[in-house]
Every structure is written in structure tokens, then in C-alpha cells.
């Protein structure tokens, strides 16, 4: 019987993964992640929260996408991660839920630029780190949120450490230490929900720079606990104490099955579990009904989503700010019904003050469905009642963009181009970056990324 700790088992896999072992689907998912993150970074580059984060970075040789000049590696990871996750338009893993691209891509890109590495190491880091983040999220379902922590933030630090360790070809012993170090760097509470403040926006970037720092500290000889995951005072005891950890989803099939191939690319710029409900609202609008004729909308929901997306109900029906609106299912449904979409333009001060949107949101409430299979699947439902007594009902059985209904490559690339243009770049610049993504993993160095510092 093996005496290896879980961190050591993971470290052996991370250290032993080479580009030729990565299947084509995983490689293409990594390319889409790089493209999606890049577009989101450019789209958010002028936002106050990004500029405030950029102001903390030192000058250096790494890229903060969409910003002039170079920054240090830690600043690059923090700025790019914060920008990529800041509008909640980034990818998600349905079983977690966790957002992988905004953590792993910035961490590995910064590491590769700092160390002068090529696209092959970028590929290994993105694929293994994303896989690790997805798997870490399955060990104790729902318990991290229940404990008041953001899964992307806390699991992301460990996954970023592993990703950077794999990219830098660190030894298994060193990567195991990096995972242990990252366990003490992991952080991110979900109190942002109280007022819709901005701390969630920085969680992915903070995890990215923490993982990068943990890997480099381990390379320098700093020692972290090998029992970080299963120990008496370990990671899951701290961040998910209400559920006994099951490590089979973390360790089973490593290197043979790739969960990261099932990552969902979002069609809407808001919380993950709101997305199927927006689809239902848009379907309702397509019947040509008038919002004024609706007297009530009741949605069947998973109990595990209520505290983040539905309560307090009055506050969700009238969100205090544009960021809070992204985590209000009533608002997201109302703006989706009226506008037919939920992109950057739907989450502005003007939209959260629009009387028509607020009037419809005030009619939307929920009922807990005990048979909902969240978090394994994200579904949506609404039952609308009209003034004349009629009712219409719509269900979305899964998240569009996810494993059961993935966005086509053309849709992911169109989203990227829309975000590039929204951020003030030309379509020509976007097209150059799109073409670069198809060959980036074959580049001997990543110097070409410096073109996108403007």
C-alpha cells in the first residue's frame, strides 16, 4: 500500500505530464481558455477595480493584457486574474463550481514570461492546473460555500501552485511542498454578497499570484506540509468542515480522464447558476408576452444556491449596484427578458435603476426543489402567471455553454472578439491574437505576448 500523501500523488502526476500526453480536446480547451481570458482582460482593462489593482504592480518583464509596458510576474498574475474574473463572464466548471481560466492562465503565463519559457510549458501548466482545480472542487461538494469561502479563491491557490510547478518542471518533492505552502496562502470569503462590493473580483488574481509565489518559494527550498489536503489540520478541515472529504474524484484517473475538457464557457456576464434562468426568461419573452401582463414568476431552485443568488429576496429584486446585480437571479432574468441578452451593457447603473427592469424583477420569486441535482448540473425553470389567470412554464435542463450544450468554437471566438472591441481594441488586433492562439503552444518563447500591452 502506498504511503504517499495526496499532495505527493498529485505532484508526481504534475511533474510527469508532458505535452505529448495531452489529448487534442484538452489542448483545444486550453487554447479557448487562453483566448477567453485574453478577451476578458481587454474588456475590463479600463474599469476602476482593474486600474486600482494595476497600481499595486511593479514594473517588470511580464504582460498585463491591455496595459502599456511590462509588470512584475506577481503583478501580472494578479492584474490579469482580477480583470478576467471581474465581470463574472469567465468559464466555469459545473461540478464545482469553480472558475479555472482566470486563475490558471494568468499564473502560468506570468511564470513562463518570467522564466523565458515556451508555449509547450504554457500548455502543460494550463491543462494540468485547470484539471487540478476542477478535481479539488469535487472533494467536498457545497461545503466550501457553506463555510463562507469562495471555492475559486481557495482551491485556485493550490491549483495555481501545481500549474506553475508543472510548467517550470519542478521535481515532485518540490511541487508537493508548493501545494503545502499554497494551503496557507489560500483565502477568499464571500461577504461581498452583502453589498455587492468588489472583493470577489480579485479572488482569481489573488489565487494566481499566491500559487506562483508558492511554487517559486518551494523551488528556493521553502518546505510546506505534505499532508496539506488530508491532514488533521489540513485544507478541507479548514475550508469545508461540514462534509467528510472524498478524495476519489481528486485522485482517480489522473492522466487518463480529463475533466477540464468539460469546462463551460459562459454566454452571459453574470453568476454561473443564473444562466439557465436567463435562458428561460428569454424563452418567455419570445412568446411575445408583455412584462406588464405578468403578475408573478416562481422559479424552482436548488437549496444550495439560495443564499448567494436569491436571498435576501427584496435585495436581489433591487440590487444595490451593478456588480451585485450579477448575483441576483431576479434581476438577471428581468434584464434578459427585456433586453434579450445579459452582456456587459446589461450590468450598468442605468440598467439597475431602470423602472421596467425593477418592476419585472419584483415579481420574480423562488421555491426550493429538493430534487434539484445541483451542483452536478445547473438547470433553470420559471412558471409565469398572468393577469388573466393563464400560466406559462419553461425549463432549461442544463447550462448552455456547458458539457451538455457546449458553445461552438465560433461562438467562443465571437465572444472573444466582442470583448476585444468592447475594451477599445480594433478587430484587427483581436484577429491577430486569435490567430496567435492557434500556434502559441508551439512557440519557443512567449515574446509575442508583449504586443498586447497597449
DSSP string over 320-384: SSHHHHTT-HHHHHHHHHHHS--SGGGSSHHHHT-HHHHHHHTTEEEEE-TT--TTT---EEEEE
Rounded Cα–Cα distance for residues 2 and 83 (Å): 42
Q: Name the percent of the chain in helix, strand, coil, to the closest 5.
A: 55, 10, 35
CA distance 169 to 14: 9
Angle at 175 between CA 174 and CA 176, to 5 degrees: 90
CB-neighbour burial class of residue 33 (10 A; exposed 0-12, middle 13-18, buried 19+): buried
* Cα distance between residue 379 and residue 218, in whole Å: 42
Q: Which residues contact 370 (CB under 8 A, 6 or more apart)?
A: 303
Q: Which three cell numbers stand for residue 385?
A: 402567471
Indicate the length of the chain as a whole number. 454
Percent of the chain scoring above 70 in pLDDT: 100
Residue carrying C-alpha cell 480522464: 257
pLDDT digits (tens, 9 = 90+) for 81-133: 999 999 999 999 988 889 999 999 999 999 999 999 999 999 999 999 999 99
Is-contact 254 128, C-beta < 8 A?
no
pLDDT reported for residue 195:
85
Grid cell digits, residue 86: 471581474
Per-residue pLDDT tens digits for 321-358: 999 999 999 999 999 999 999 998 899 999 999 999 99
C-alpha cell at 295: 403578475
Q: What does R_g of the chain's alpha carbons equal in angstroms? A: 21
- What DSSP assignment string belongs to 35-95? HHHHHHHHHTTTSHHHHHHHTTPPEEEEE-TTSSSEE-HHHHHHHHHHHHHTTS-S-BBTT
In the numeric block, the cell 477599445 is attached to 424
| Nearest in space to 305 (alpha carbons), one of 190, 134, 159 | 190
- Average of pLDDT values for 432-447? 96
Residue 147 has what pLDDT? 96
- pLDDT tens figures, 142-174: 999 999 999 999 999 999 999 999 999 999 999
Angle (CA) 378 38 274, round 5° = 20
User: Looking at residue 172, what is its pLDDT?
Assistant: 98
The DSSP output letter for 293 is: G
Residues 81 and 205: beta-carbon distance below 8 Å: yes
Cis upstream peptide for 312 (omega within 30°): yes
pLDDT at 2: 58
- Tell me what the mean pLDDT of segment 56-80 comes to: 97
What does the mean pLDDT of the chain come to? 96
DSSP string, 144-208: HHHTTB-HHHHHHHHHHHHHHHHHTT--HHHHHHHHHHHHHH---BSGGGGTT-SHHHHHHHHHH
How many Å from the N-terminal Cα to the C-terminal Cα in the chain? Answer: 55
Q: Is residue 1 very low, low, confident or very high in pLDDT (cuts 50, 70, 90)?
A: very low
Helix (H, G, I), strand (E, B) or coil at 298: strand
* Segment 9-44, tens digit of pLDDT: 999 999 999 999 999 999 999 999 999 999 999 999
Write b or e for each residue in 68-94: b if 16 or more Cβ atoms lie within 10 A of its Cβ, otherwise e: eebbbbbbbbbbbbbbbbbbbbbbbbb
Rounded alpha-carbon distances, angstroms, from residue 365 to 293, 359, 407? 16, 13, 29
Please check the confidence at residue 196 and state whether its pLDDT lies above 90: no
Amino acid at each position: 500500500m502506498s504511503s504517499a500523501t495526496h499532495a505527493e500523488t498529485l505532484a508526481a502526476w504534475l511533474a510527469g505530464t508532458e505535452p505529448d500526453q495531452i489529448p487534442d480536446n484538452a489542448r483545444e480547451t486550453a487554447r479557448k481558455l487562453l483566448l477567453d481570458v485574453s478577451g476578458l482582460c481587454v474588456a475590463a482593462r479600463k474599469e476602476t477595480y482593474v486600474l486600482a489593482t494595476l497600481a499595486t504592480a511593479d514594473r517588470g518583464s511580464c504582460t498585463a493584457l491591455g496595459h502599456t509596458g511590462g509588470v512584475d510576474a506577481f503583478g501580472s498574475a494578479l492584474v490579469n486574474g482580477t480583470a478576467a474574473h471581474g465581470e463574472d463572464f469567465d468559464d466555469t466548471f459545473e461540478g464545482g463550481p469553480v472558475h479555472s481560466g482566470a486563475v490558471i492562465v494568468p499564473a502560468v503565463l506570468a511564470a513562463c514570461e518570467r522564466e523565458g519559457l515556451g508555449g509547450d510549458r504554457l500548455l502543460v501548466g494550463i491543462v494540468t492546473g485547470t484539471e487540478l482545480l476542477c478535481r479539488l472542487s469535487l472533494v467536498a461538494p457545497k461545503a466550501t460555500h457553506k463555510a463562507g469561502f469562495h471555492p475559486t479563491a481557495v482551491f485556485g491557490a493550490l491549483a495555481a501552485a501545481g500549474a506553475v510547478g508543472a510548467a517550470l518542471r519542478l521535481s515532485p518533492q518540490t511541487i508537493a511542498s508548493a501545494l503545502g505552502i499554497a494551503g496557507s496562502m489560500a483565502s477568499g470569503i464571500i461577504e461581498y454578497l452583502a453589498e455587492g462590493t468588489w472583493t470577489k473580483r480579485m479572488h482569481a488574481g489573488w489565487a494566481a499570484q499566491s500559487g506562483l509565489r508558492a511554487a517559486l518559494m518551494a523551488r528556493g527550498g521553502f518546505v510546506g506540509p505534505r499532508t496539506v489536503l488530508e491532514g488533521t489540520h489540513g485544507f478541507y478541515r479548514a475550508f469545508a468542515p461540514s462534509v467528510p472529504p472524498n478524495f476519489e474524484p481528486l485522485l482517480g484517473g489522473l492522466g487518463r480522464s480529463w475533466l477540464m475538457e468539460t469546462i463551460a464557457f459562459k454566454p452571459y456576464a453574470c453568476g454561473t447558476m443564473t444562466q439557465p434562468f436567463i435562458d428561460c426568461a428569454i424563452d418567455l419573452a419570445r412568446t411575445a408576452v408583455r412584462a406588464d401582463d405578468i403578475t408573478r414568476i416562481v422559479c424552482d431552485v436548488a437549496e444550495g444556491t439560495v443564499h448567494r443568488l436569491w436571498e435576501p429576496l427584496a435585495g436581489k429584486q433591487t440590487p444595490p449596484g451593478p456588480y451585485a446585480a450579477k448575483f441576483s437571479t431576479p434581476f438577471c432574468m428581468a434584464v434578459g427578458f427585456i433586453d434579450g441578452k445579459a452582456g456587459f451593457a446589461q450590468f450598468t447603473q442605468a440598467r439597475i435603476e431602470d423602472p421596467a427592469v425593477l418592476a419585472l424583477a419584483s415579481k420574480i420569486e423562488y421555491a426550493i426543489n429538493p430534487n434539484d441535482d445541483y451542483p452536478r448540473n445547473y438547470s433553470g425553470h420559471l412558471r409565469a402567471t398572468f393577469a388573466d389567470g393563464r400560466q406559462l412554464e419553461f425549463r432549461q435542463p442544463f447550462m448552455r455553454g456547458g458539457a451538455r450544450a457546449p458553445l461552438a468554437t465560433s461562438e467562443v471566438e465571437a465572444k472573444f472578439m466582442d470583448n476585444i472591441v468592447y475594451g477599445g481594441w480594433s478587430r484587427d488586433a483581436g484577429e491577430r491574437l486569435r490567430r496567435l492562439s492557434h500556434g502559441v503552444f508551439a512557440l519557443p518563447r512567449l515574446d509575442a505576448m508583449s504586443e498586447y500591452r497597449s
